Amino acid sequence: MTKPTLAHPRSPVRDGIHEDARQTLAALRSHHQTVNLVLVALTDGIELEVWADGSLRRRSRFLRDSEARKYSERLTTRLARRGYERGGETR
């Protein structure tokens, strides 16, 4: 009997993630919620963390910095269309 394979395999769990750098790309505010987009540089890739009201909502992994920044811009544009206002952006 063979085991079923997952369509999207999970990345392996690491013991103690060692990040090289962290940068806040955007802070978006609405009357209900504050969303922060944070770029995290790791030795083997880049992660984009989406924080909402102080709790981590999503972590996406990319191989290149440019891919993570493009995704961040698309997400920022989408949230702005939904009524979030840009505030405290750093580059």
Average predicted confidence (pLDDT) for the chain: 85
Residue 9's pLDDT band, with cuts at 50, 70 and 90, is: low
> Within a domain: residue 24?
yes
Q: Which amino acid would we find at residue 38?
A: V
Q: Say how far apart CA 68 and CA 29 lie, in whole Å.
A: 21
Going by C-beta distance under 8 Å and a sequence separation of 6 or more, which residues neighbour residue 30? 82, 83, 84, 85
46 neighbors 59 (Cβ within 8 angstroms): no
**Domain presence at residue 8:** no
Q: What is the largest CA-CA distance in the chain?
A: 55
**Number of domain units in the chain:** 1
3-state secondary structure of 52: strand
- Mean pLDDT value across residues 47-53: 95
Domain that holds residue 75: 19-85
Q: What is the pLDDT of residue 87?
A: 78
**Residue 39: inside a domain:** yes
Mean pLDDT throughout 5-20?
A: 63
Per the domain annotation, does 5 fall within a domain? no
Share of the chain above pLDDT 70, in %: 77
When comparing pLDDT for 47 and 13, which is higher?
47
Q: What is the mean pLDDT of residues 33-42?
A: 95
CA 32 to CA 43: how far, in whole Å? 36
Can you give the pLDDT at residue 19? 80
Is pLDDT above 90 for 90? no
